[in-house]
Amino acid sequence: MWPYILRRLLWGIPIVLGVTFTVFLGLHVMKGSPGAAFMGKAATVEQLEKFDRDHGFDKSYPEQFVAYLGEVFTMDFGRSWKTDRPVSDMISEGAGKSISLTLPALVLTTLVAVCLALIAAYFRGRSLDRGIMIVAVVGMSVSFLVYIVVLQYLLAFLFPIFQIHGYEPGFWERWQFLILPILIQVVVGMGYDTRFYRSVFVEEIGKDHITTAYAKGASQKRVMFVHVLKNALIPIITRVMISIPFLVTGSLLLEQFFGIPGIGSLMLASLDTDDFPVIKALSVLISMLFIVSTILNDIFYAVVDPRVRLK
Amino acid sequence: MALLALCALLCSVSCKHKAAWEEGKKVAHFSVRAKLGTLDPIRSSSTYDNEVQSQVYEGLYTYKYLVRPYQLEPLLAKALPTVSEDGLTYTIDIREGVLFHDDECFPGGAGRELVAKDFEYSFKRMADAHNQPTGWWIFQDRIAGFDDFQKRMSERGDAAFDWDAPVEGLKASGKYQLQIKLVRPFPQLLYVLAMGYSFVVPRECAEYYGDRFSNTAIGTGPFMLRTWTRGSRIILDKNPSYRDAYYPSEASPEFQDMLGDAGKKIPFLDAIVYHVYEQDQPMWLKFRVGDLDMTQLPAEYHEAVFNKDLTLRKTFVDAGIRNYNLPLLDFIYRGFNMEDPVVGGEKNKYLRQAISLAWDTKELNDAFYNNTCVLYDAPVPPGLDSYVAGVTSPYRGPDLERAKALMVKAGYPEGKGLPHLLLETSSGGNTEEQAEMFARALKEIGVQLDVNINSFSELSTKLKKKKAQMFGLAWGADYPDAENFLQLFYGPNEAPGSNNFNYKNPAYDALYDQSRTLQPGPERTAVYQKMREILIEDVPSFGHLARTRFYLWHGRLKNVLPDETFDGWRKYVNIEEQD
């Protein structure tokens, strides 16, 4: 397995390089020096030149790119131009807050969607199945922003069940602020996941080994939870694994509306203020997370399905 | 439903609106937008930065809280300065006994006394490019020897900045006395010394914190920084060693009813909490439930809150909400590059006048600003010297017939022969939609307009390189003097300076030079008027607007007179005692 992981990691290098190059093109070549935004409305030419010198914009593009590669190689992106704080500190602080929001949401969404999908698949073609699917489709059809705006208004303002906005860093204190955004994330994610998992389960139910299990006298419960669910784990794992990068990057809209100072907020703020070191660090981080999540995906395949071999 | 009921139960136990430490204290909760970037005064780049800094840091002068039009008063200075007869030398006595906040950067942790040297140091910080100062322009080409000093220090590269190197026009002439010598008269100097860039910082703390200095704040102000959780909130505590300072006893007639606390010691608040918001809805809902004491009204709620005559709707009045509609010293405009061969210069004046006449600023105001902006013609907004209410430019649109006639005069009947014009504008807000509306208006007179949306950096770069043919931009007053707007058209300030229009008119420049030496008064106002008239005729800019900011607060807050020219007024805010 280790040679496989090593090989996949090596294959990841061109991907990271590609992302690095694309980000470089977008920031350094197309956008150019953001000195004017940083130095204020009355910046002098000398000040702008000094800004460019200090941040390497006076060098040729190849030199600037090599410098960026150096940052990627050492994973040292220096300090934020906007906040003067180490980029690594800003990311690690934000990541914890984002994960507090996204991890429970992912776990809950998956659990609820799998359960609903199993029920729908079990009662396929009947009114309960149709009811679940109608709710899922309606749920999917409403935009994320509408859920946030409406549910924040209803459940935090009109009926003040939850907090409207805010965040406390303490582990226990933070949950009062996280319940509603987690709930919204679950509601939004549930529709798509339930439909997807139902189709996987229905396909699985139609297979010969399920008929055999019934013929052998296995109970409905055993068939659904052991034979169907176990064999449908690969698509479930795939779906969960591709969500891993989003656990760290957070949910931009939820973080913005609920005042959670996570990576989503950080990303938006850095884009808004042309904070290149943070933008570059986050871009590379996200691409690396995608590579790691696909490798983890493959490893889990091998764990749940003995037919899969990592070569 | 069961889940919701459980959440409600949990939240009723755990969801607190006020923290335990606030019990029995006067704590005001304000909102601030997420763009807050730095607490270092010389790096300030937004009104949000300045607002928070102004509670912690102080400068030599400020504005009288309850007096309009604006009048300066001493803050850390003992009195207004003594000015030499030639208007070049300012001698400023500093208050004695003023202490910096207690902080570990001082020996023993106790804040030391402020001295004149601190101002010398703080102003010199602006000459140190390593600090990335955004406010160097306030002193540039004004203080004797300061530009040379800045140049010499820049040439040292990475070598240590020589703080002890003398600057002819900037020196502590005594322990409590600062002397500033100008290269030429600059009557606006005191305004500049009231700006956030001129706040005083202690050298030992700036050096102690180094790169982290912009994330902390140690000043002499009425409040001290307790915590700053980026993207979430800032908590400021009352400065226990704040000097004896008192609520004002002087007020303009319209603010006489705010003198109830006159003569009482300030600050009244025990703490201020700034909550950071990136979206309008949560900010507004937090205000509605009373978790925020005060907020700016987001534009999308304007119609729900205000009547057509801009008074508060009854529901809000009954709920005990108060408001103040603050007219901003704002200059939102569209401009021409006067060096552009198609739209610039004297020969293309008729084309510029025609474009100005085709543009309906009233429609823009109605569609995008809820009709809350003030429209004006020369680039000096209402509330300043030389602004004359009711005087309208002959080129204010819409007047399509005259615009078309001027197009003929310009040599482009119905736009024939005129190449496509290009408007450069910045992204964000609804600038794109506004530009589309503008393009539609110009089509009426046969002018084809292309629009290019830029980031602010890109637009700034184009302007500095004189690469924009037409552009849309805004300028907020740095200080309440018409000069701050009129200098935008002064020839020697052409790009890369602040004159983005590259407007050069010898008559205008001569008047500007004359005005620079004049103290505020009728003579200077008359000169400003002449300058306005020239600009109205030449039309380097048009479609001018000044916005109004709508502040709302709950009735428990007292003494609130919001302002953005100076932000240090939270020290006067009080909270009504409740049984």
| Upstream peptide bond of B496 is cis (omega within 30 degrees of 0) | yes
Residue A269 structure tokens: 């703020």
Buried b (16+ CB within 10 A) or exposed e, B150-163: beebbeeeeeebee
**Residue B27 placed within a domain:** no
Would you report the helix, strand and coil content of chain B in percent, each value rounded to 5?
Answer: 35, 20, 45
Q: How confident is the model at residue B12, as a pLDDT?
A: 56
Mean pLDDT to the nearest integer, B512-519: 89
B348 lies in the same domain as B286? no
User: Which residues on neighbouring strands pair with residue B234, listed in sequence order?
Assistant: B228, B274
**Portion of chain A with pLDDT greater than 70, in percent:** 97
Q: In which residue are the tokens 């419960």 written? A: A221
**Interface with A, mutate which of B11, B158, B275, B424 (most A CBs under 10 A):** B11
Judge: A266–B7 Cβ closer than 8 Å, yes or no: no
Which chain B residue has the Cα nearest residue A274? B457
> What is the identity of the amino acid at B460?
S
* Residues of B in Cβ contact (< 8 Å) with A156: 285
CATH number at residue B154: 3.40.190.10
**Interface with A, mutate which of B460, B488, B490, B499 (most A CBs under 10 A):** B460
Q: How many residues does chain A have?
A: 311
Mean pLDDT to the nearest integer, A216-226: 84
Residue A42 has its nearest CB partner, among B16, B213, B498, at: B498
Band (B495; pLDDT cuts 50, 70, 90):
confident
Closest residue by Cα to residue B189 from B328, B379, B60, B382: B60
Question: Contact, B432 vs B416, CB < 8 A?
Answer: no
Mean residue pLDDT of chain B comes to 91
**Which stretch of A195-204, B32-41, B260-269, B305-314 has the lowest confidence by average pLDDT?**
B32-41
B292 lies in the same domain as B377? no
Provide the number of CB pairs (under 8 Å) joining chain A to chain B.
152
A51, pLDDT greater than 90: no
**Residue A132 placed within a domain:** yes
**Portion of chain B with pLDDT greater than 70, in percent:** 95
Give the span between the Cα atoms of A211 and A208, in whole angstroms: 5
**Structural domain boundaries enclosing A252:** 87-304
Nearest-Cα distance to chain A for B559, in Å, is 28
B310 lies in the same domain as B459? no
B174 lies in the same domain as B249? yes
Judge: B457–A82 Cβ closer than 8 Å, yes or no: no
**Which stretch of A1-5, B132-136, B263-267 has the lowest confidence by average pLDDT?**
A1-5
pLDDT tens, position by position, B274-284? 999 989 999 99
B291 lies in the same domain as B433? no
**Residue B1 placed within a domain:** no
Nearest-Cα distance to chain B for A16, in Å, is 27
B74 lies in the same domain as B177? yes
Q: How confident is the model at residue B3, as a pLDDT?
A: 57
Question: Residue A140's Cα: distance from chain center in Å?
Answer: 18
**Structural domain boundaries enclosing B299:** 277-325+551-575
Residue B275 structure tokens: 């909550």
Judge: A31–B212 Cβ closer than 8 Å, yes or no: no
**Residue A55 placed within a domain:** no
**Residue B189 placed within a domain:** yes
Who contacts B374 (Cβ-Cβ below 8 Å, separation ≥6)? B327, B381, B382, B545, B546, B548
Closest residue by Cα to residue B400 from B349, B347, B345, B447: B447
Residue B211 has its nearest CB partner, among A79, A153, A273, at: A79
* Residues of A in Cβ contact (< 8 Å) with B229: 167, 169, 261
Give the span between the Cα atoms of B95 and B112, in whole angstroms: 14
What is the number of helices (H) and of strands (E) in chain A? 16, 0
Who contacts B106 (Cβ-Cβ below 8 Å, separation ≥6)? B100, B112, B202, B204, B205
B8, pLDDT greater than 70: no
User: How would you classify residue B543: left for phi > 0, otherwise alpha for psi between -120 and 50, otherwise beta?
Assistant: left
Number of domains chain A is built from? 1
Mean pLDDT to the nearest integer, B551-565: 95
Band (A114; pLDDT cuts 50, 70, 90):
very high
Which run of H or E residues covers position B276? strand B271-277
B203 lies in the same domain as B144? yes
Q: How confident is the model at residue A177, as a pLDDT?
A: 93
B256, pLDDT greater than 90: yes
CATH number at residue A128: 1.10.3720.10
**Residue A50 placed within a domain:** no
Which chain A residue has the Cα nearest residue B46? A40
B457, pLDDT greater than 80: no
B578, pLDDT greater than 70: no
Q: How confident is the model at residue A214, as a pLDDT?
A: 87
B146 lies in the same domain as B245? yes
**Residue A93 placed within a domain:** yes
* Residues of A in Cβ contact (< 8 Å) with B231: 259, 261, 265-266, 269
Nearest-Cα distance to chain B for A203, in Å, is 32
Judge: B458–A31 Cβ closer than 8 Å, yes or no: yes
> What is the identity of the amino acid at B221?
G
**Interface with A, mutate which of B149, B154, B279, B424 (most A CBs under 10 A):** B279
B65 lies in the same domain as B140? yes
Closest residue by Cα to residue B21 from B227, B264, B284: B227
Number of domains chain B is built from? 3
**Residue A117 placed within a domain:** yes
B15, pLDDT greater than 80: no
What is the number of helices (H) and of strands (E) in chain B? 17, 23
B343 lies in the same domain as B453? yes
Judge: A161–B8 Cβ closer than 8 Å, yes or no: yes
pLDDT tens, position by position, A19-39? 999 999 888 888 777 887 777
Residue B314 structure tokens: 């009854």
B414 lies in the same domain as B316? no
**Residue B17 placed within a domain:** no
pLDDT tens, position by position, B155-198? 877 677 889 999 999 999 999 999 999 999 999 999 999 999 99
B575, pLDDT greater than 60: yes
Band (B4; pLDDT cuts 50, 70, 90):
low
**Interface with B, mutate which of A28, A31, A39, A145 (most B CBs under 10 A):** A39
E-assigned strand segments in B458-528? 470-476
Nearest-Cα distance to chain A for B56, in Å, is 18
**Residue A19 placed within a domain:** no
**Residue B8 placed within a domain:** no
**Portion of chain A with pLDDT greater than 90, in percent:** 42
Mean residue pLDDT of chain A comes to 88
A113, pLDDT greater than 90: yes
Instruction: Compute the CA torsion angle B239, B245, B248, B249 (nearest 10 deg).
Output: 150
Give the span between the Cα atoms of B191 and B72, in whole angstroms: 8
Give the span between the Cα atoms of B63 and B156, in whole angstroms: 38
Q: Is this complex's ipTM strictly greater than 0.90?
A: no
More confident residue, A289 or B259: B259
pLDDT tens, position by position, A129-153? 999 999 999 988 899 999 999 999 9
Q: How confident is the model at residue A230, as a pLDDT?
A: 83
User: Which residues on neighbouring strands pair with residue B551, listed in sequence order?
Assistant: B296, B324
* Residues of A in Cβ contact (< 8 Å) with B277: 165, 259
B267, pLDDT greater than 70: yes
More confident residue, B358 or A245: B358
Nearest-Cα distance to chain A for B498, in Å, is 6
Q: How confident is the model at residue B11, as a pLDDT?
A: 60
Q: How confident is the model at residue B459, as a pLDDT?
A: 85
**Residue B396 placed within a domain:** yes
**Residue A223 placed within a domain:** yes
**Residue A229 placed within a domain:** yes
Which chain B residue has the Cα nearest residue A161? B8
B71 lies in the same domain as B193? yes
Give the span between the Cα atoms of B234 and B31, in whole angstroms: 10
Give the span between the Cα atoms of A17 and A8, in whole angstroms: 15
B2, pLDDT greater than 60: no
pLDDT tens, position by position, B360-380? 999 999 999 889 999 998 888
